[in-house]
Chain A
Amino acid sequence: MEALFFWVFAVVSVVAGVLVITRRNPVTSALWLVVVMFCLAGLFLLLHGFFLAAAQVIVYAGAIMVLFLFVIMLLNLDDVELGAARPTFVKGLSVALAGGLVLLVVAALLAGRPAPVAQPPAAVATPPAAPAAGEPSFGDPEALARLLFTDYLIPFELASVLLLAAMVGAVVLAKRELRP
C-alpha cells in the first residue's frame, strides 16, 4: 500500500514538475506547482511527517501559492506573455485531476494511521505497541513542538524575527513611493 502511494505521488509530482517549468502561462505553472506541493505533502505523510504534511498544505499550497496567484493577477500580463487560451476539455481534466489528488491524500492519511480500535483483536497477531502516555512517537506534532520549544528555541524565535522583517520589507517595497 505504501509502495503504491509512493509511486503515484512520485510520478505525479515529477510530471507536474515538468509542467511547471514548461507552461507558457504563469497561472498554469502556479497551479501545477500546487499539485507538486500536494504530492510532497502525501510523501511527508508516508515518511511520518504528519505536522509537516499539514504545514506543507497550509503554508505552501495555501499561503505562498495564493500570494503567487495574487501577484500574477495583479501584474495583468499581456497576451503575448500569457499565450493562447486553453480548450474546455483541458479545464475539465484539471478539475478531475485535482479532485482525484485530494482523494489520494486523504487515502494516504488513512493508510498511515494505526489500526482502528473497532478492529477485532484476533485479526492482528502482534498489534503495534502504542507509545506510553507523555512519550510522543516519531513525527507527531507533540514531538516536533517539544524539540522546537526546547532545543531549537532560539532558531524558532529568530524565524519569527525573520518573518517580521520580511513583512516590513514587502510592505516597503510594494509601496508606490517612499515618504519620510
Chain B
Amino acid sequence: MIVPSLEHYLVLSAILFVLGAIGVLTRRNGLIMFMSIELMLNAVNLTLVAYSRHLADMAGHILVFMVMTVAAAEAAVGLAIIWAIFRNRTTVNIDELTLMKG
C-alpha cells in the first residue's frame, strides 16, 4: 500500500473542493448549496493542515482555526438569511428568487 505523501493529501483536498464547486454550480436548493460551500472550506482546511505538517510550521493550524470560526459565523448568518427568504417566499430554490433581476 502506497504511503501517503503531501501530494496525496493535496489531490484529495482538490477532489473534495471540486465536488463542493460542482455542488454549488449544479444544485438549486439553497441549503445544499450551503453544504457544498462547507465542503469546499473543509477541503481548503485539509490543504492547510497538510502543508503545515509538511513545512513543520504550526501557523497553518492557526489559519484552519480562523477558517472554522468564519465558517461557523457564515453558517449562522447564511441559515438565518435562508430562513428569512423561506418565510417571505416559501421556497429555498435559488432560481425562483428573481427579485434583483433587471
Is B68 in contact with A59, judged by CB distance below 8 angstroms? yes
What residues make up the interface of A, taking CB atoms closer than 8 Å to B? 2-4, 6-7, 10, 13-14, 17-18, 20-21, 23, 26, 29-30, 33, 36-37, 40, 43-44, 46-49, 51-52, 55-56, 59-60, 63-64, 67-68, 71-72, 74-75, 77, 81, 138-139, 143-144, 147-148, 152, 155, 159, 162-163, 165-167, 169-171, 173-174, 176
Cβ contact of A21, chosen from B32, B53, B69, cutoff 8 A: B32
A residues less than 8 Å from B65 (CB atoms): 52, 55, 144, 148, 159
The reply to whether A51 and B72 contact each other, CB–CB distance below 8 Å, is no
Proximity string of chain B (37-63) to chain A, C-beta cutoff 8 Å, 1 when within and 0 when not:
011001001100110110010110110
* Contact between A14 and B52, CB atoms less than 8 A apart: no
CA distance A10 to B82 in the complex (A): 32
On chain B, the number of residues with a Cβ less than 8 Å from chain A's Cβ atoms is 58
**What are 27 sample pairs from A and B whose C-beta atoms fall under 8 A apart?**
A10-B4, A17-B19, A20-B32, A21-B19, A21-B32, A26-B35, A33-B39, A37-B42, A43-B49, A44-B46, A52-B64, A60-B38, A60-B68, A64-B71, A64-B72, A68-B31, A72-B31, A75-B82, A81-B92, A143-B58, A144-B65, A148-B62, A148-B65, A159-B70, A162-B70, A165-B73, A173-B84
Extra 16 A-B pairs, beta carbons < 8 Å, given A3-B2, A162-B70: A2-B4, A4-B1, A14-B16, A17-B19, A21-B32, A26-B29, A26-B35, A43-B46, A47-B49, A147-B59, A167-B76, A170-B76, A170-B79, A173-B83, A173-B84, A176-B87
Q: Closest CB of chain B to A56's CB: distance in Å?
A: 8
Question: Which of B9, B39, B72 contacts A63 (CB under 8 A)?
Answer: B72
A-B Cβ contacts below 8 A, count: 178
A24 to B2, CA, bound (A): 36
Contact of A48 among B27, B38, B53 (CB under 8 A): B53
Contacts of B73 in A (CB 8 A): 162-163, 165-166
Inside 8 A of B2's CB, which chain A residues have their CB?
A: 3
| CB of B38, distance to nearest CB on chain A (Å) | 7
The smallest beta-carbon distance between B14 and chain A, in angstroms, is 11
Q: Does B22 contact A (CB under 8 A)?
A: yes
List residues of chain A with CB within 8 A of the CB of B4: 2-3, 6-7, 10, 46
